[in-house]
A = this chain, B = another copy of it.
Amino acid sequence: MDLGVGPRTAEAMAAIRARISGGGLGPGDRLPSIRRLAATLGLSPSTVVEAYDRLAAEGVIRARPGSGFYVVPGVRPPLAFAPAVGRPPAVDPFWVSRLALDADPAMAKPGCGWLPADWMPTEALRRAIRTVARSDAALLTDYGGTRGSPALRRLLANRLADEGVPVGPDRILLTASGTQAIDLVCRMLLRPGDTVILDDPCYFNFQALLGVHGVRTVGVPFGETGPDVAAFEATVAAERPRLYLTNAALHNPTGATMAPQTAHRVLAAAAAHDVVVVEDDIFADFEPDRSVRLAALDGLDRVVRVGSFSKTLSASVRCGYVAARADWIEALVDLQVATGFGGPSPVAAEVVARLLAEGGYRRHVEGLRRRLDGARRDAARQLGDLGMEPWTMPRGGFYLWCRLPDGRDGATVARAALGEGVVLAPGDVFAVSGSAAAFMRFNVAWARDARALDVLRRALDGPAEEGAAPDG
C-alpha cells in the first residue's frame, strides 16, 4: 500500500533503512540528530522528521521523548499478513462468508453476495467522499447523534413514505450495517431458548446470527410466492415463535418474491400469535417494480424494517438502518449506545446521504437492473449448458438458485472448485430444517467469468457423491 510518502521522505527513509540493514546502526543505537542527518543527506530537517516518524510508525525505530530516536532492538513480529488458514473443513454458514470476504483478488467468487467493484458508482462515490472531506470539523471528528445523520434519515423516511410506510425520521435509527440492525433487534426481543422462524432455504448468515443469540430456528418451506402459508400458520401455532426473519423482495437465495396474498396471511398469522416480523429489504432496489411490503401492510407496528446500501452503493462505506415502532427505536438507541457507543460513522452516513440525494442514484440503479437482466439470461444459459437448472427465474437481483445435475452434492462441488480458486455457495449452507445439498446459489454478475465456468465444469465432472440428497 502506498501511504503517500513524498520522494524526498522516501529517500531519507531508504538511507536510514540502509544504515540499519548494513549494520552501521545496530539494535538500540541512537540515530543521528535530525539536524545532522539533514545536513548529511542534503535534505531539510522537516523531511528527516517525517522520515523518522514514518519509520517509527512502521516499528523500525522508536522515539524516546526528549532523547531522540533509537533502532528498535530484538525480533519484530512478522509483518506479513497471515490469512485465515486452517479453517475447519465444515461447510457451514461461516464457510461462504469467510471465503468470500477473505478471498484473494485473483479468485473468482460466483458464490459471493455482492456485485463486483466495477458495477458500483465509483466516480460518484469519489466525488461524495471529496465533498464530505470539506465538511464542518464537527462532522469529521465528533461521534454524531445517537440516531445518526438527520439528513440521511429524512431521505430514508421519504423512501419509506413512497412505499406506503409513512413514518418520520425519528422512527429510523442508523446502524453500522444492515446485519447489525438485525442483531440489535434480536438483542431487544429475543432471549436464549426462544424460537425464530426462517424461510427454508434462507440467507446463511441469518442462521449464524441467530446462533449467537442462542435461539432455536425452525424453517418454513419457501416457494415461488413466498413461505408455504399453511406450513407457516401451523408452525406459528405449534412452535410459538417470537420472531419471523425474512427478505420480502427478491428472497436470498432463491430470488423469489412474496405474493400479496401470502404477505397478508403471513401477517395475519403473526398477529394472531404475537410474532414480530423482521423484514430485511436489502435487495429491494433491484426490483423492476415494487412488490408488496410487509412493513407497508402492517404500518410498521409488528413489522421491523431493516436495510442498507451495501449492495447498490458501497459495502465499504458501511451504513444500515432500522425503522420500527417509536418505543422500540428508543430501546434500540440505548442498545446501540451501550454496545457500540453510536452507530455508523457520521462521515459514512453523510457520503450515503449525498449519493441518495443526487439524481444519479436512481439512474445508477436502473442501469444495474438492465445490466443484471442481461447477466441473468446469460448465466442461466451457460449454467444450463452445464446441466444446472434455475429453480425459478427471478424478476431482479443477482441470484440464481440452481439445481445441480445428476444428484451432485453442492458441498463436494464447492470444495473441488475452491481448490482451483473459485468460491461457490453450496445449497446446504442455506438450508434450515431440510436439505438443499442438490442446489447452489450463483451470483450472475460473476458467473460469466470464463475461468469460473471452466472450473465449475471440471468440479461437476468429479465423481458423484453417494448419499447426496436428490432434492432440496
Contact = CB atoms under 8 A, between A and B. Distances in A.
A57 B140 contact: no
A94 B334 contact: yes
A393 interface: no
A140 B316 contact: yes
Contacts of A360: 53
A146 B212 contact: no
A32 to B, nearest CB: 17
B84 A146 contact: yes
Interface in A126-166: 126, 129-134, 136-147, 150-151, 153-155, 157-159, 161-162, 166
A253 B397 CA distance: 51
A65 B334 CA distance: 40
A453 B129 CA distance: 39
Interface in A299-334: 310, 313-318, 330, 333-334
Contact of A337 (B53, B136, B140, B208): B208
Copies of this protein chain in the complex: 2
A471 interface: no
Nearest to A136: B117
Contact of A353 (B3, B129, B334): B3
A314 B4 CA distance: 20
Contacts of A452: none
A251 to B, nearest CB: 18
11 contacts: A1-B150, A49-B359, A53-B360, A53-B361, A54-B358, A56-B359, A77-B161, A84-B146, A117-B142, A187-B212, A205-B337
A62 interface: yes
A57 to B, nearest CB: 5
A133 B142 contact: no
Given A158-B58, A339-B180, A120 B141 contact: yes
A375 interface: no
Given A133-B133, A208-B338, A157 B59 contact: yes
A353 B57 CA distance: 10
A138 B3 CA distance: 17
The 7 nearest A-B residue pairs measured at CB: A53-B359, A59-B158, A208-B338, A120-B141, A129-B133, A82-B170, A117-B137
A100 to B, nearest CB: 8
Contact of A77 (B137, B144, B157, B346): B157
Contacts of A342: 101, 177, 315, 318
A interface bracket (residues with beta carbon within 8 Å of B): 35 or more
A466 interface: no
Contacts of A98: 146, 333-334, 337
A356 interface: yes
A418 interface: no
B341 A205 contact: yes
A335 interface: yes
Contacts of A1: 150-151, 353
Given A57-B155, A345-B348, A125 B140 contact: yes
A151 B180 CA distance: 25
Contacts of A65: 288-289, 366
A369 to B, nearest CB: 9
A72 interface: yes
A79 B143 contact: no
Contacts of A129: 129-130, 132-133, 140, 347
Given A57-B361, A179-B339, 4 more contacts: A3-B358, A58-B154, A84-B330, A118-B137
A340 B57 CA distance: 30
